[in-house]
Structure 1
Amino acid sequence: MADFQQFVADVGTRLSAMSKGELFVVGDGLDRDSLWLTFLESFPAGTNLRFRERSEYDCSTCRGFVKNFGNVVEIQDGHVRTLWSGVSAFDPVFSVVAAAMDEFVGTLPLSGIFRSTEAQYGTKTTRTLRDGQVEVWHHLHGRVADRHRTTDVGPARGAFDAAVQVFQRGLAELTPHALDTVVDLIDDNALYRGEEHRRAVTEFRSLRNQWAQAADGRVFVFANAMNPAARFRNTVIGTLVQDLSEGVDLEQAVRSFETKVAPQNYQRPTALITPAMVKAAMKTIGELGLEESLQRRFARLSDVSVNNVLWVDNDTRSRMKDGIEGLLMQAATTRPSGAGGRDAKPEEVPVVAFMKDILPGAASIDLWVGNSHEPHFVSLTTGRNPAAPPLFTWDNDFAWSYGGNVTDSIREKVKRAGGNVTGKLRVSLSWFNHDDLDLHVYEPDGTHIWYQDKRHKLDVDMNASSPLSDEPVENVTWAGKIADGEYRIEVNQFRKRDSSRGGFVIETESAGKVEHYSYERAVAQKETVEVGRMTVAGEVITAFRPGKDMRSGSAGKDLWGITTEQFVPVSTIMYSPNYFDDNEVGNRHYFFMLKDCVNDQPTRGIYNEFLRRDLQPHRKVFEVLGDRTKCEPTSDQLSGLGFSSTVRNSVVAKVTMNGGRRRLISIQF
């Protein structure tokens, strides 16, 4: 015979045991009446005598308990267990009822955490008077544990739901490789205050590994959503892992992290590669037999075949790899020539036409090397072991290295940053690190143009916040009426972040004339540098008085053994190595190798953008490798000026043709 009182006791015992841990509910949007109907309809036929005969099983007290506790579950060892699991297993009636409820509730999906404002659902007993006798009725009942009670259910459930979402996104989006990389950075002391974040990273990594092996990922998420490590994705160290997981470059991702947590003058002590990255790269290098290919040096004239040069002067010919014999294979033609000097107006000739129509008939070439060409100084490099396999996407071991910061002009950088370069008058600031320099211009009437009033004339303000650039610019342009008078220009160091590549360049443009003024020392924190005072008349700059320590772009200076702002003899003209022989890989560069031009600084022989495809996965290691294995300076190197075919630029050449006539040509790139 069924023992309802024992069933009540079994359910109470089960609920009490479950309440020692976290409780959850299943069935999002569940109609609670379905729980009650399932309970009533699960009784075997004839065992639930309704109406006046026996109403103990279907009273309102039991209904309240079933509707509020019936879909409560616990999570044990990665599995969901209902309130009804194993209750009254040996009772012929209530074992059937419990099994039916367990099956129904067990099919419902997890929906949230269990919280209630009530202290109890159901009443242990009630009494009625029947035929003069007091009759005692037993009911399903249970107490809500203190840990599951709250005065505000909605926010408590909402907070848990939010935790589940954060945890789920972190598990799905944060990759094992990114987590391992951050742990390696911490191990190598390459992350600012990284040791403080070690526990958070390793605990989340452990949770993610467990989640990947769990039988039911959602059950695992619910069981661990209240773990502090589950919120890892929303922490500052979590943003670093997120960036790396999304494919952000390691250097950029760490820089973004350090912007959030590091003081402004913090400088990272070690390179951003991990032991795992080095091990993987070295494995690939060994498999491809590239160990000897990593040894680089400056290229010499004797390394280069004359078949790979476009022009060579007579003094240089005998030193080329294939000598005079190779030169005899090249056709030579002459063209009519004119005369001219530096002050004469040069004829503008596109570079392709210059190479085709003028170069073959040239006896000598002198190039005007201005201060503005400093970013274009370039050196040709090669491997120390000619028989070693090539590292690059072309089939020779030559590469090149620019000595300047970029090949783009300041004007092009401003344009790329969204600044206006088409106004009547322009003043632009360019610098080369992550500092936050600010351009200030004071107009004749005292109007102050600066970052706090950039609605009109100041249209580019970089490095004030992330993302930071190492090619930043600021720009002031006057498009409307320009007042006559004296304009004062200053540069202020608002936030110093870097200790390398200090200084800045100011570029002015007026009536088509571009001038440069440079400051070659680092600008200290909060220091203000007076750039100079420019006089404007008729909306044109008529004079510029540079401030103290400012250097005018028109003054020559010594660079790589030559003096700028004058003509320098050209020894050899060639394409970049990616266009040697039958190669046509990427953008073409035009190299004008200058006599006596010697790069006196160690130079990179390996650049990531040159690497062959099977080395691309190890770009970060090769970036560090290129910096650590630079080519040492030599006197017999090939260095000069280089120009990209994809960047608009020009250079003036004084060409002496075969026959002695001269032409002054502005070569247009």
Structure 2
Amino acid sequence: MTSHINNTYDNSNDQYPHFSEAIKNVFSNFGSKPLFTTGVEDLFEVFLNNLPQEARQHYTCSCCRHFVSRFGGLVSISEDGEISSVLWDEDRTPTFFVESVKAMKGIVLNSKVTGVFFSSERTLGQPNSGGWNHMSVSLPEEKVYRSRLKTAGQEMAEKKEDFRILNAGLGEFPLDIVNQAVTLLESESLYRSDICIGIAKFLQGLHSKHRDTQNSLTRDNITWLAVATAPSGFCHIKSSMIGTLLDDISEGYSVDVISRRFAEKMNPSNYMRSQSSPSQGNIQQAEKIVEKLGIAKSLKRRYARFDEIPQFIWKEKETVKEAVKKVGGVFSGITPKEKLTTPNNVMNLPSTVMTFDKFRRTVIPTAESIEVMVDKPNRLMALVTASDTDAPNILQWDNTFSWYYHGGIDGEIKRRVESAGGKYEGNEIRCSLIWEGYTDLDLHCITPRGEHIFYGQKQSNCSGWLDVDANGGRATTQYPVENIRWSEGSAVNGHYHFYVHNYCERGDGTTPYKVELEINGEVFVFNGLASGTGYKLDVFKFDYKRGQRPNIVNVNQYSSDGSWNVPVNGFVKVKGVTDSPNHWGEVKVAHSGHHIFFLLDECKDLSQGKGRGFFNEMLKSDLREIRKTLEAYTANAPIDEIESASACGVGYSKDSDWNLFVKVTSNNSTRLIKIDRWD
């Protein structure tokens, strides 16, 4: 530090180099913690005014003035809301500067926190200039703010808004309401509760800390610390799913009503899904953000392979075939019969019921082979990863793997039908057509009585009804669906004939589509490609007799129960058991749920999982503002490399009942175990 005003002052006894190092040492104790700004002003004048009169002119340099004015008020916040100066500590300061440091520290500790601090520069201050050293500190590398989308200042502004929104939410939903929400979420009575339990407990903990202090500044400090450390989205209570739950509890709804409303909103086909197409402005903004982040290649997804999974709870032991010694005789080319790896005298033990937690602790460690009963097709799942392994990761966790469940595919049709006012559930016969874009595809049915149900005659005398018709006459939606149905007990016996007609092609000449036929709860799917205006193709023909399974005539159709290449209602060999990818590695992303996947032999999704490459709820916070466009993108993007998919199976989450039957062989005995729940 120097001044050009008073060059006659002798500062050889001030120990300024030690003072400068003391500042760095004090700061190093807080560097890894969140830092906060305060409302202090004129702090450098306090520094000068507490120096000896004769020395003040010597310490008036602009570099140090800038450092103290800009960073001198930085603080850290403890769990109980107490603030600490991250620069000023009189106990480590040379005697000459003690009074100045004490005075600055006192003002800082009595100030109000105003925001979370971020810097895109690692060095705070200017260490030296003109041959003189000045006050400065350095952030740890991991604390330097780096984003291609926002400046450090913009991030600080967003945190201030988070603080405002979080405070408003805390005021609207008192602790007793939050406690009820936590109780409900922990009771396992709410579908996919694991997604919301993290934010509910976050709010509960905040309320409890606020209750334990009467000081308003301390309460604000506790909230600022929460804002700085909370996962993305946790501060936006009203606009998140937890806000809906808290609203319902505040309104006094019954548990049954709350559970039903919660399940509807948390359904994978609805949760964080856009209800309308992105505008042209949204798409252009998304293009800019994708370019800035360099993630164009990251959006392309493919099916994961079993050998890519980095960690397992249990993995099938690989059988190594013994090398056969060639004898060079006439029969040297014949491979001898392999020895049986499983003894014939395996003992069947009585079946038992246990939780997965107990199964993991007591059964898995000695298991030689595991089989699971595949009796719930909606539990079928697939792991997906980035096609380009060198592309930046777009997910919240430290790997590129995501997952989807079989039920989520058909859930998109359900979402669209119900959003358009149609009836998806509770029908005897239902046939739904789905496609993307403004093309006008039409679904037709010739009924057993010869009536024709289509856009020109939406209801028939035999109770059939086209209750949803899309893009007829003009382009109205990029996410169309059509739905013909018969309510329970209303379908007549006889021959049904469904076909698809491309009335007006408004795309690039061809339009992929999917038709879902449900008969008494059993679902069949047809995938087709409409080749242009005038295209017409039969998709389902069958003779219906109530109470009997129809024999559907169409070589391209398949039952959704069998579309994963594994037998339903039978035991299938397990290759490995693993946690969901958000729980791999050292850093867990618990608020995204916890699932256990039993990866099965030869299991794969033959439908190629179009639209399931990633979900908005899994993406990094940088991508939230363009999620509508990303959803439209992934809805049209099939997942690549289905032929190599070997990381598929069945999945169970922590918040739902399992009722999974498992057959385990170990120590020459086989046990049939029913896993009823997580723990």
TM range, smaller chain? 0.3 to 0.5
TM-score (norm 1): 0.41
TM-score (norm 2): 0.40
Query: Bigger radius of gyration, 1 or 2?
Result: 1
